[in-house]
Structure 1
Amino acid sequence: AFGATRRPNVKAADDVLLGALRDSGAPAVTLVAKAYDRHVDLALKTNLDENLAMIRDSVTHLRQEGQRVFLDAEHFFDGYRANRAYALEVIRVAMEAGADVAALCDTNGGMLPDEIADVVHDVLGATSARLGIHCHNDTGCAVANSMAAVAAGATHVQGTLNGYGERTGNADLVTIIANLELKKKKDVLPQNALREAFRISHAVAEVTNISPSPRQPYTGVSAFAHKAGLHASAIKVDPSLYQHEDPESVGNDMRMLVSDMAGRASIELKSVELGIDLKGDKELIGRVVDRVKEMESRGFTFEAADASFELLLREEATGKRPSFFTIDHWLTTTERGAKNSIITKAEVTVTAQGKEITCSGEGNGPVNAFDNALRDGLNQLYPELAALELTDYKVRILEGRLGTGAITRVLVETSDGKGEWNTVGVHENVIAASAMALEDALTFGLLRQGRKPE
């Protein structure tokens, strides 16, 4: 349970909010207390002695009820700068009253690692308290500050998964735990539990509906991604040459990014990652490298479109692109209806299993309508498509100087509930680019479902 100390000039037993914490049934309670004399005056509107009494009475009351108490010393570092003696007294009073831990809070997030280390070391020497740390990321140092506090003697770290929090966020517990386990060799989690970091980090992102950061340390999809040809060649010999840890230690994977910088080693490693054996065929690998470079010169990107690249790789390896259908014709219309409603329709003609099918669909935009029409026509032949869902759609204008005549790149993310994949399309027309990406997405999805292409 989480709450504040009793109100000024109110007995702990009579304080409504403190009573709610007491009666919550929680075995542990975190109390927020003011450690900055200016906040005591301006926010609590009471005197310094009463604030100390509020801390003492609240901790004592909850301890007498059998609950563990953790004290969050709010604005501690600002308070320490302004009035060191008072900030230290806040910690002493809390510990003498029975608090398990006093967490020093960098509430405004303005501290730097060397400053954190100095203060934690001083507080430990002056109070002998069991200290914790609570950092915000306003200087981009929340994780570094937390690590500095631990190095200086703190034994309790507060933060949030993925660093979610107000303003610029809190200290990322995923990164901190991985740092402590892998770099400092501290036993933070049960054995092998760290291997769940990637899954849990992404599950939390899914629940909060916040896209995972690809560059998040340890668990981002780019954390162990490699692109340049020289890097790829070295990794082929020994992955540790360009990786600070084994990605499997946090449940992640090494990824090879395919781009116009890709060399033969990058393509070979990527093919192994995708489960396609190129058998060291230098001519084939050379063709793939040349084709990637040519397509990227036209605006394609395969760094974030593994599924489109796998289809390209299969085409070059077998001489035939995997295909379940071809899009012969399409038409989209958008009109304004009654009460300014927007009506978007699409009509698509496809050939699949030797049949020509004309289908239609409506949607909240031309791409959504196109997708619905395509599925409407193909679902009868490929019922597996019902399990596929378009989960993300991104459009980028590549040549902004050309204005409305610019090249458009579309990236589509699709899911079947078991995994996600990304595809790309490029064209002067955004619908045509979307059609390319959608065709790849559905084709790859059917391959994942075990369907054999025509």
Structure 2
Amino acid sequence: MPQQVTIFDTTLRDGTQGEGVSLTVEDKLKIAAKLDDLGIHYIEGGWPGSNGKDIEFFKRVASLSLKHAKVTAFGSTRRKGVKPEEDGNLKAILESGVRVATIFGKSWDFQVTTALQTTLEENEAMIYDSVRYLKEQGLEVIYDAEHFFDGYKNNRDYALGTIRKAEAAGADWIVLCDTNGGSMPGEIAAIVADVVASVKTPIGIHAHNDCELGVANSLAAVQAGARQVQGTFNGLGERCGNANLVSVIPNLQLKLGGYRCVSDEQLATLTSAARYVSEIANVGMPVNQPYVGSAAFAHKGGIHVSAVLRHSKTYEHIEPELVGNRQRVLVSELAGQSNLVFKAQEMNLDFDLENESTKRLIQTIKDMEHRGYQFEGADASLELLIRKAYDKQENVFTIESFKLLVEKTGDNPVASEAIVKVKVHGETVYTAAEGNGPVNALDNALRKALETYYPDIRDIHLTDYKVRVINEKDATAAKVRVLIESSDFDASWNTVGVSENVIEASWEAILDSIRYALIGRTVVLDNREEKHERIGIVNH
């Protein structure tokens, strides 16, 4: 029978202390709902005694009717010389309406005398009084022993004495914090094992990532007897971040064996949850993030792809679907025929390795990448290229011409207007539109021309736009590569354009994006509906 490991998420509190991370109340509510769907056991909503935003969150979170998670409020032990019932932080926790409180206290004698500037005895009294007071109010109490590992290494007896005070006061959990993130996995394992043998209260681990060991230290703690792991999604947090729960959960459940965090069905939503949190927090998720990154199961070298085609285990440590990800093959200058075979299989194309068109397509792709294209980050453009080579691409529209007018008068903002001439189903359409720049104006004009024929185009929007100078030495005449990510309510896809002219490169990527999106959409034309097979759009 697998041992249950409780997952405690502090993205909404500790995660927001990371540089560049700022969540509105609406953002926090959305993330809380997503974490609850995943099966997270505790969600730390914030510190109600510190700001109005967190107070509002606690007022509104009750309306979410969470199915799995308990919401907890964060705070410190009582201040020195203040009774717990008179302490502002503890009163704020009670007023927040939560049934679970998470409070932290000092475990390191150096922190007690230097940061708190009080006696070791008073610190122990602060811990005991605070935990006991919250328990008397009917709350579940999680006690976070701040700086525990540094304190243990400096003065074992005192560090253990502080958590024994929390235990004596009735704490439901005692969580050992590697607050400075400087401990090694071997140290964590040995210290946790000693603590587990010294107290009866269930033990948790709260690791920071300053040595890039947050996940490793969390796993070591669990193997030594800890049964709660605190961390954040995508490792968000102060300095170098917190232990990344997106890696902790599958490592415990799929790799170590004997542990269970969430159900298998919930684990299969891990990738979508990680990407959702990334989008809401507006913090880019690394493509090579383990388990959930878009490159986590991506293959580029032809030899690797050839082996993966025979069996995925040759170069994949798990089945991507277990965590909701998918296998990808990147086509580039390193690619051989195996890469294109894989892509063709995804598109249900009859792809003959001995076919001359196959060999020409490989050479075309290599030549285009030599000129600056990058298809490994633009699967949609690649798919369109393959379909065109095999006459499998429907000509949903044709661009006949476009014109741009960019005008600057006096102190007024630059005005941009685009005129586009498009042929759709044999009809020529002229449209004009303004935008907050020439690329936006072109995009608006194209959409305006196509909306009559493809109404669902209104659902498509650009989510990322990147420009990369390819040959910097040519200065303003340099060739540029534009990568665009687009999405609708169900999916996202990436396209690429290359030119010495940034507008032309952007236009090429936009055209690919729209063409790709229209494959599989309902066409409304002359009051009749035609259904087209949706090809290759990657679901989040």
TM-score, length-scaled by structure 2: 0.80
Aligned to 2:454: 382
Matched, 1:324 2:396: yes
Paired with 1:192 and 1:378, the residues of 2 have a C-alpha distance of 40
Please tell me the root mean square deviation across aligned C-alpha atoms, in Å.
2.0
Equivalent pair of 1:6/1:58 in contact (CA under 8 Å): yes
Q: Which amino acid aligns with 1:196?
A: T
Matched, 1:111 2:157: no
Paired with 2:337 and 2:230, the residues of 1 have a C-alpha distance of 46
Q: Which SS does the other structure have where 2:376 is aligned?
A: coil
Q: Which amino acid aligns with 2:374?
A: T
Q: Which amino acid aligns with 1:16?
A: G
Aligned to 1:344: 416
Match of 2:149 among 77, 85, 97: 77
Measured against aligned partners, the alpha-carbon deviations of 1:171-222 in whole angstroms (never above 9, x if no partner) come to 1111101000001121211243211111211222222222332111111111
Matched, 1:56 2:128: yes
Measured against aligned partners, the alpha-carbon deviations of 1:140-170 in whole angstroms (never above 9, x if no partner) come to 1111111111122211110011212122211
Q: Which amino acid aligns with 2:273?
A: I
- 1:332, CA displacement in angstroms? 2.6
Equivalent pair of 1:268/1:285 in contact (CA under 8 Å): no
Aligned to 1:436: 508
Matched, 1:203 2:276: yes
Paired with 2:471 and 2:405, the residues of 1 have a C-alpha distance of 26
Match of 1:140 among 200, 212, 216: 212
Paired with 1:253 and 1:191, the residues of 2 have a C-alpha distance of 16
Aligned to 1:93: 165
Distance change >3 Å, CA 24–CA 388, structure 1 → 2: closer
Aligned to 2:343: 270
Aligned to 1:66: 138
Aligned to 2:260: 187
Paired with 1:101 and 1:373, the residues of 2 have a C-alpha distance of 60
- 1:403, CA displacement in angstroms? 1.2
Using the TM superposition, name which of 295-304 and 72-81 deviates more.
Answer: 72-81
Equivalent pair of 2:469/2:479 in contact (CA under 8 Å): yes
Matched, 1:291 2:369: no
Q: Which structure 2 residues correspond to residues 239-258 of structure 1 after superposition, within 5 A?
A: 239-258=312-331
Equivalent pair of 2:300/2:330 in contact (CA under 8 Å): yes
- 1:13, CA displacement in angstroms? 2.3
Give the unaligned 5+ runs of structure 2: 1-72, 524-529, 533-540
| Percent identical residues | 46
- 1:340, CA displacement in angstroms? 4.4
Equivalent pair of 1:163/1:172 in contact (CA under 8 Å): yes
Paired with 1:2 and 1:248, the residues of 2 have a C-alpha distance of 35
Paired with 2:434 and 2:415, the residues of 1 have a C-alpha distance of 8
Equivalent pair of 1:194/1:251 in contact (CA under 8 Å): yes
Measured against aligned partners, the alpha-carbon deviations of 1:84-138 in whole angstroms (never above 9, x if no partner) come to 2221111111112111221111112222222222322333344455321111112
Aligned to 2:498: 426
Matched, 1:131 2:203: yes
Equivalent pair of 2:207/2:243 in contact (CA under 8 Å): yes
- 1:249, CA displacement in angstroms? 0.7
Matched, 1:17 2:17: no
Equivalent pair of 2:109/2:120 in contact (CA under 8 Å): yes
Paired with 1:211 and 1:416, the residues of 2 have a C-alpha distance of 19
Matched, 1:227 2:296: no
Q: Which structure 2 residues correspond to residues 356-435 of structure 1 after superposition, within 5 A?
A: 356-435=428-507
Paired with 1:340 and 1:39, the residues of 2 have a C-alpha distance of 57
TM-score, length-scaled by structure 1: 0.94
Paired with 2:227 and 2:155, the residues of 1 have a C-alpha distance of 25
Q: Which amino acid aligns with 2:310?
A: V
Using the TM superposition, name which of 280-289 and 153-162 deviates more.
Answer: 280-289
- 1:55, CA displacement in angstroms? 0.5
Q: Which amino acid aligns with 1:20?
A: A
Paired with 2:414 and 2:91, the residues of 1 have a C-alpha distance of 55
Measured against aligned partners, the alpha-carbon deviations of 1:314-354 in whole angstroms (never above 9, x if no partner) come to 11112x75322222332333333453422222222333333
Equivalent pair of 2:374/2:496 in contact (CA under 8 Å): yes
Match of 1:122 among 186, 189, 194: 194
Distance change >3 Å, CA 129–CA 423, structure 1 → 2: same
- 1:23, CA displacement in angstroms? 4.4
Equivalent pair of 1:92/1:129 in contact (CA under 8 Å): no
Aligned to 2:6: none
Distance change >3 Å, CA 405–CA 179, structure 1 → 2: same
Equivalent pair of 1:392/1:414 in contact (CA under 8 Å): yes
Equivalent pair of 1:332/1:344 in contact (CA under 8 Å): yes
Q: Which structure 2 residues correspond to residues 137-176 of structure 1 after superposition, within 5 A?
A: 137-176=209-248
Distance change >3 Å, CA 168–CA 333, structure 1 → 2: farther
Using the TM superposition, name which of 30-39 and 10-19 deviates more.
Answer: 10-19
Measured against aligned partners, the alpha-carbon deviations of 1:234-285 in whole angstroms (never above 9, x if no partner) come to 1111100100001111111111111111111111111222343425664333
Aligned to 2:107: 35
Equivalent pair of 2:422/2:428 in contact (CA under 8 Å): yes
Q: Which SS does the other structure have where 1:358 is aligned?
A: strand
Q: Which amino acid aligns with 1:221?
A: S
Match of 1:236 among 305, 309, 323: 309
Give the unaligned 5+ runs of structure 1: none
Q: Which amino acid aligns with 2:327?
A: M
Equivalent pair of 2:471/2:478 in contact (CA under 8 Å): yes
Paired with 2:288 and 2:270, the residues of 1 have a C-alpha distance of 15
Equivalent pair of 1:278/1:317 in contact (CA under 8 Å): no
Equivalent pair of 1:359/1:376 in contact (CA under 8 Å): yes
Q: Which amino acid aligns with 1:189?
A: V
Equivalent pair of 2:171/2:201 in contact (CA under 8 Å): no
